[in-house]
Amino acid sequence: MTEDIHWYALKVFFNKSLTLQVRLEDAGYKCYCPLGVEGRPLISSLLFVRCTEQQILDFKHNAQPDISFSIYTRKEMRANRFDSGQQERNIPAPIPDNEMLAFILVTSASPETYEVLGPDDPKYHTGQKVRVTQGIFTGAEGRVKRIKKDRRLVITVNGIVAVATVHINPAYLEPVSEN
């Protein structure tokens, strides 16, 4: 049985995101770290890696002590190793491909075309879900949100981060079903 490959978010400490990215890529993993001006990480201490759950856990367990990082997790019921029962455990939280692809699309554009809003916050989930049909963000899905009196498309990686584009003409948007 093979495990599914997903994106996972890592919180990297002491400004070592790019160093960890190089080590992960050298080990054969695909990584994404949004970069800002002068090639510095756009979002301090955030790195994404694409692999299986077991691979990221093994990498974390065997990581060299000069780079400290944690894996964004969620709670899930899993079998207890010591008896036949189950217990709630923190496990790496996979990021859906469509969320990650939209995030990469927006943060790969020129920095003046979007704004980093910081950690994902439930208040960014209030607008209608839409897809961009024209322009540099064609295909990106997110929610419409008014920020600073301007209509923008907010892209979230749930529980991790949210970014907002500059103004998008409503004519370039189409509604997307919640399913």
Torsion of CA 97, 168, 117, 158, to 10 degrees: -30
pLDDT, tens digit, for every residue of 3-28? 899 999 999 999 899 999 999 999 99
- The neighbouring-strand residues paired with 31 are 49
SS3 135: coil
The full set of domain ranges for the chain reads: 6-92, 97-175
DSSP 52: -
CB 143 within 8 A of CB 130: yes
Which pTM does this prediction carry? 0.75
The torsion of the CA quartet 142, 102, 74, 56, rounded to 10 degrees, works out to 180
pLDDT of residue 2: 58
Q: Which residues are bridge partners to 70 per DSSP? A: 11
Q: Are strands 129-132 and 173-175 parallel, antiparallel or unpaired?
A: antiparallel
Nearest to 106 by CA among 72, 82, 141: 141
Percent of the chain scoring above 90 in pLDDT: 42
Measure the CA–CA gap between 179 and 176, rounded to whole angstroms: 8
The DSSP bridge pattern shows strands 150-157 and 6-12 to be unpaired
Helix (H), strand (E) at residue 101: helix 97-107
| Cβ atoms 160, 9 nearer than 8 A | yes
pLDDT digits (tens, 9 = 90+) for 62-115: 988 899 999 999 877 767 666 667 777 788 999 999 999 999 999 998 888 888
